[in-house]
């Protein structure tokens, strides 16, 4: 019998919120240390956004169990339907087909490649996935590009007053 932790995905619940807050804080610190202090700053994602994602069933967690305790390895919001931010792009999307968007992805830092596992899961279940990231977020650009995403152009966030340019990506499993 193997003692290795088994990973799986599940929807977040309100009980997960405190741990999710810690993971987002970890992600903000990591981004700042790696030359990307402004993408999430000190406050993004805002508490009400995280709570709304959980309430709407958009937050997915990659979890495992170790020594009888569940650990959150990574988290992300999986948004279905058309993303209003993606209506205008300086460039071109791969297609106009139905897609899902990955937002607010963050790893706990407990295991390697957790963000990549989240992206793989989304591709397996939805096929056509879009995402965006800050021009200074070299780590996420690397994860997306090595996961087969195409750089489609630049978009402007519509929900923030400053620092709004993002690199837009898409992968479509034909």
Cα 63–Cα 49–Cα 139 angle in degrees, nearest 5: 55
Distance CA 147, CA 8 (A): 19
Torsion on CA atoms 19, 72, 129, 151, rounded to nearest 10: 80
pLDDT digits (tens, 9 = 90+) for 125-167: 999 999 999 999 999 999 999 999 999 999 999 877 677 899 9
User: In terms of Cα–Cα distance, which of 126, 3, 149, 123 is closest to 65?
Assistant: 3
User: In terms of Cα–Cα distance, which of 73, 74, 99, 76 is closest to 86?
Assistant: 99
pLDDT digits (tens, 9 = 90+) for 8-27: 999 999 999 999 999 999 99
pLDDT digits (tens, 9 = 90+) for 89-98: 999 999 999 9
What CATH number was assigned to the domain covering residues 7-172? Answer: 3.40.630.30
């Amino acid at each position: 019998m193997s003692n290795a932790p088994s990973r799986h995905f599940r929807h977040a619940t309100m009980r997960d919120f405190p741990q999710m807050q810690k993971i987002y804080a970890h992600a903000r610190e990591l981004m700042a240390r790696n030359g990307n202090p402004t993408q999430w700053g000190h406050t993004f994602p805002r508490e009400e956004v995280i709570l709304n994602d959980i309430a709407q069933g958009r937050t997915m967690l990659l979890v495992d169990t170790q020594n009888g305790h569940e650990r959150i390895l990574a988290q992300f919001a999986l948004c279905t339907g058309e993303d209003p931010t993606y209506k205008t792009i300086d460039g071109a999307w791969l297609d106009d087909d139905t897609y899902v968007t990955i937002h607010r992805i963050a790893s706990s830092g407990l295991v390697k490649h957790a963000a990549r596992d989240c992206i793989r899961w989304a591709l397996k279940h939805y096929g056509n996935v879009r995402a965006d990231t800050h021009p200074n977020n070299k780590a996420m650009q690397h994860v997306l590009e090595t996961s087969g995403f195409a750089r489609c152009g630049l978009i402007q966030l519509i929900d923030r007053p400053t620092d709004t340019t993002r690199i837009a990506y898409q992968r479509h499993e034909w």
